[in-house]
Structure 1
Amino acid sequence: MAITLKGDQKISSVPTTKSKALRINLNANIYGTFAEIGAGQETVRNFFRAGGASGTIAKAMSAYDKDFSDAIYGIEADNRYVTEERLKKMLKHEMELIEERLTRQTHPDKLFFSYANTVATINFSKKFKGHGWIGLKFQLDPLEDYNEIVLHLRFKETDARAQQETLGVLGVNLIYGAYYLNDNPKELLKSFYDNIDKDKLEIDMINFSGPRFMYVDNRLMSLQLVKNGMTNAVMFGPDGNNLLPAQVLYKKNILALRGSFRPVTKVNMDMYEESKKLFFQENKVDPEKTKIIFEITLSNLRAEGEINERDFLDRAELLCSLGQNVMITNYQEYFKLVEYFSEFTKERMALAMGVYNLIQIFDEKYYRHVSGGILEAFGKLFYRDLKVYMYPYKDEETGEFMDSENLKVHPRMKELYKFFKNNGKLINIDNFDADNLHIFSRKVLKMIKNGEEGWQEMLPTGIAKMIEDKRLFGYSRRKVTKK
């Protein structure tokens, strides 16, 4: 929260929830409807309390009864109510009603909006903390098409009333930000936590659309969620739109490949293809119920200091072009990643990695902050019959292939390593392409930046052309140098 100093007093520069609601109310052109299902009418209540609400609120409703809700918005195929599909139906329906009932002849300057949420708060047993969808469809010019912001939240508080109040503040922040911070989506995103502590709420998905957000790359907005500490993991699909991890991974088998993918190489794709074959051979792994994820950690994106957003988007562009689902996480340790997956599924899981990543797993320094040390971490990592598929490394001096049979770990870790290897947790990827083992992303990247030739042959089909056509990773068409 930004702070300005006045004498000995600290004064917050963040507007209060009431002042935000009042500014909206006093804007004669902002006018719309509120439809809130599942957690009371907490957002609209802030506008009523602020004063002057008659200039803002055309209608406020809450269709709690499922039959009434179905009669208004239709029946969902899966009979669920707290979904993105439900939210979008609500936004569309309410906006159509505004246009039907209010003519432009009477209201030529009005900026119509429709705010909606569908939320499930904490249950009585307190085992399910609750989650919900919030959205806003709004105009910034009467002659323009509508813009839309849709986000998903997960509650962290353990009291239903507190969750409702937090939801109400978030709703005000969304509407205020949409109208007054729309020219700076990154600041708009940060403003969602105005007057809300981050330990109360997690925002794990957001998508912007519409004429004012044509320049916004939703993958970059996903990155901001993790970078700002709003969530620990985000996900986007091949089309570049953000996905809700809980929805995509629910009751699925999961195979994850961690890497820098800077750029994605033939080795990465060979590891992908061969680990996928091994995973599909596992008992009870149905390919139709499996999700394969290319994961990049925030620490990897920060490897050279501050996060380079252009560099991030270059990686994302290539992985999306290959039809892959990409995940950005704040889980440097693998056991935390597996714990995260376990929130959504009890099905089979596997990790594919190279030799160096596997050596790091057996390095005690990565577990000094864990109370039970490396043993606790390994217990969490392998308690669900997790498999690790290991891609070999070729020693250029000796020509020897390094795999699980001749891998060297710290002497204190030898017995632990043997235990997991002998119990079938570590599986070699034997059917690898030995001709590609000289390829490393960092080497390819250096060649691209230095204008050297030969890097194109190290990448999957079509990737080199995309790098050249779109000038990714600092590529330029200057004369190449021979190496």
Structure 2
Amino acid sequence: MGDKEFENVPSIKSKALRINLNQNIYGTFAEIGAGQETVRNFFRAGGASGTIAKAMSAYDKDFSDAIYGIEEDRRYVTEARLQKMLKHECDLMENRLDREKHPNKLFFTYANTVATIDFAKKYKGHGWVGIRYQVDPTEDYNEIILHVRFHENDARLQQNTLGILGTNLIYGAYYKYDSPKKLLRYLYDHIDKDQIEIDTINFSGPKFDDTVDNRLMSLQLVKNGMTEAVMFAPDGNNVLPARILYKKNVLALRGSFRPVTKVNMDMYEKSYKLFLDENKVDPERSVCIFEITLSNLRAEGEIDEEDFMDRAKLLCSLGQTVMISNFQEYYRVVEYFSRFTKERMGLAMGVNNLIDVFDEKYYRHLSGGILEAFGKLFFKDLKVYLYPLMDPETGEITNSENLKVHPRMKELYKFFKYNGKVVDVEDYNPEILNIYSREVLQKILNGESDWEDMLPANTVKLIKEQKLFHCENTAAENV
């Protein structure tokens, strides 16, 4: 980021100084794995004695375990470890400082647990960063917790970047908590996006519970270019992609899900069954990911956040894990999954999607064109589970045997088809093949009532009760 872009941005020193000069903000810094880089900024700014109760780094594992307890998985750079650090240090402040003596103090704990780049420079490093803090001494604590991945190739640079990020987080937590989207953007003040990646963030506590939906904050991470993909769980909280994907067999289902229909769910259920029947696919170590691309969200112009939330709520209500990505091409999805797992992968898609995969125009930016893309797409024994298409006028069914790709792509398609890379979903429900999300959405917008049989029952109830997709028919008794 150029210097001009920082002209109106407070310096890191001025941010730290403003915190230090606030006589009510008082707390602890606990930093493990990358030096004490955040608290260093506050010491250097001046006036730190009124802000810093304690600064510590329990680098020795035995000491760390003695202070915070032992993790079940014996790992240290985890969200669970960060949560224990935040709670432990806040509890100490509450126990050691008399509230009656300090009625206006706003207690906080800032913590990070980090692994920086290794000596071989093969492992770039990552970490968990968070703050537990008060903005009102009579209220419970708020929390902002995020996960970062380092992209710099030097440990000292990574440490410095982490210190800047930490200072931005503390400053934003106190002075931008009422504008969480701005708070998120300001985390990158004085940091280039190619230095560090934020791929998970969650807000919680009295200042956020009623105003922030963490799924929407996930969307901001991708929209702002802070990461390429984010995931959220059925409970609506953002989850670390590595936690979901690590050493798992992964089936991905891409769609608009606007709204999610019986066809989407039939494609998911039947494809997942085929996937689990594959050799070496352990059901206990397999996941299905529903993916929505940023380009899909922008299909009608700027991203409509309300529309995004409507889709997210429906998928979560069906118990699905959702990924938002900026991957237009399927091979990029596979490359992304490959960062976290070397197990089996599959893609569930409809006929039109597969035809698009064989369209050369999507690969002109690659020096090797479509062949390079297909090398990346299928190098891991990946399979496509193809859901058929029915012609609404003739009733003709299109599957892998009779779909038509561009004449130049015929031989390439045959190669993958007859090498078992494309598998037809054969036990589909023929009665629902005429359901299309865009037509269902139009019926909802028009106030019609014949769309209800096209969607899973639970989603119909949710759409009516919460008026999703501008549905005005709220008569739940008709569900």
The reply to whether TM is greater than 0.5 is yes
Q: Look up the equivalent residue of 1:286 and give its one-letter code.
A: D
Matched, 1:315 2:311: yes
Give the 5 Å matches for 1:342-381. Answer: 342-381=338-377
Aligned to 1:13, which of 3, 8, 17? 8
Under a length normalisation based on structure 2, what TM-score does the superposition of the two structures give? 0.98
Is 1:123 equivalent to 2:100 in the alignment? no
Q: Quote the offset at 1:124 in angstroms.
A: 0.4
TM-superposed CA distance for 1:370, in Å, is 1.1
- Deviation sequence 1:439-483 (CA, Å, 0-9, x none): 00000000000111210000012211111111000111399xxxx
Work out which of the residue numbers 382, 400, 404 in structure 1 matches 2:400: 404
- 1:326 and 2:322 equivalent? yes
Equivalent residue number for residue 219 of structure 2: 223
Of 129, 136, 156, the match for 1:141:
136
Q: In the alignment, what sits opposite 1:94? A: 89
Q: Which residue number in structure 1 is paired with residue 294 of structure 2? A: 298
State the one-letter code of the partner of 1:242. N
1:24-423 aligned at under 5 Å gives the runs 24-214=19-209, 215-423=211-419
Identity of aligned pairs, percent?
73
| CA distance 1:70–1:195, shift in 2 (3 Å) | same
What does residue 7 of structure 1 align with?
none
Alpha-carbon spacing, 1:11–1:237, altered in 2? closer, same or farther (3 Å) = closer
Distance 1:276 1:459 in 2: 19
Counterpart residue type for residue 218 of structure 2? S
The TM-score with structure 1 as length reference comes to: 0.97
Q: Which runs of 4+ in 1 moved over 6 A?
A: 1-4
Q: 1:382 to 1:14 in 2, by over 3 A?
A: same
1:447 is the counterpart of 2:443:
yes
Q: Does the aligned pair in 2 maintain the 1:2–1:13 contact within 8 Å?
A: no
Tell me, in whole angstroms, the C-alpha distance in 2 between the residues paired with 1:2 and 1:311. 35
Contact kept, 8 Å, 2:464 with 2:474, in 1: the verdict is no
The whole-number CA distance in structure 1 between the counterparts of 2:89 and 2:278 is 48
**How big is the shift at 1:371?**
1.4
Deviations 1:100-136 (A, max 9, x none): 1111121111100000000000000000000000010
Partners of 2:465 and 2:474 within 8 A in 1: no
Q: What is the CA–CA distance in structure 1 between the aligned matches of 2:185 and 2:474, rounded to whole Å?
A: 40
Helix, strand or coil: the match of 2:199? strand
3-state secondary structure, aligned to 1:212: coil
Query: Where does the alignment leave 5 or more consecutive residues of structure 1 unmatched?
Result: 5-9
Note if contact 2:232-2:323 (Cα within 8 Å) is conserved in structure 1: yes
Check whether the contact 1:451–1:478 (CA below 8 A) recurs between aligned residues.
no
CA-to-aligned-CA distance 1:81-100 (integer Å, 9 cap, x gap) = 00000000000000000001
How far the C-alpha of 1:397 sits from its partner, in A, is 2.3
**Partners in 1 of 2:225 and 2:202 — Cα distance?**
17
Instruction: Give, in whole Å, the separation in 2 of the partners of 1:207 and 1:313.
Output: 16
| Residue aligned with 2:469, SS | helix
| Matched-pair contact (CA < 8 Å) for 2:266–2:429 | yes
Question: Match of 1:124, as an amino acid?
Answer: F
Report how far residue 12 of structure 1 moved: 0.9
Report the residue type matching 1:34 in the other structure: F
RMSD: 1.3
Count of paired positions: 474
> Is this contact kept in 1: 2:134–2:142, CA < 8 A?
yes
CA contact (8 A) 2:6 2:189 kept: no
Structure 2 Cα separation of the partners of residues 417 and 24 of structure 1:
61
Hey, what's the Cα distance between the residues in 1 that align with 2:462 and 2:16? 47
Deviation at 1:2, TM superposition (A): 11
- Partner of 2:221, secondary structure, is helix
SS at match of 1:211: coil
Moved more, 302-311 or 392-401: 392-401
Q: Contact 1:152 / 1:204 at 8 angstroms: preserved in 2? A: yes
Letter in 2 for 1:186: K
Q: Is the 8 A contact 2:32 2:59 kept in 1?
A: yes
Which residue of 460, 463, 475 corresponds with 2:459? 463
Provide the C-alpha distance between the structure 2 equivalents of 1:3 and 1:232, rounded to a whole number of angstroms. Answer: 25
Post-superposition offset of 1:265: 0.2
Deviation at 1:11, TM superposition (A): 7.0
- Residue 348 of structure 1 aligns with an amino acid whose one-letter code is R
Call closer, same or farther: CA 1:264–1:63 in 2, change over 3 Å: same
Q: For residue 398 of structure 1, report the CA deviation from its aligned partner.
A: 2.2
What is the alpha-carbon distance in structure 1 between the residues aligned to residue 6 and residue 230 of structure 2?
Answer: 34
Q: Hey, what's the Cα distance between the residues in 2 that align with 1:93 and 1:221?
A: 27
- CA drift at 1:247: 1.3
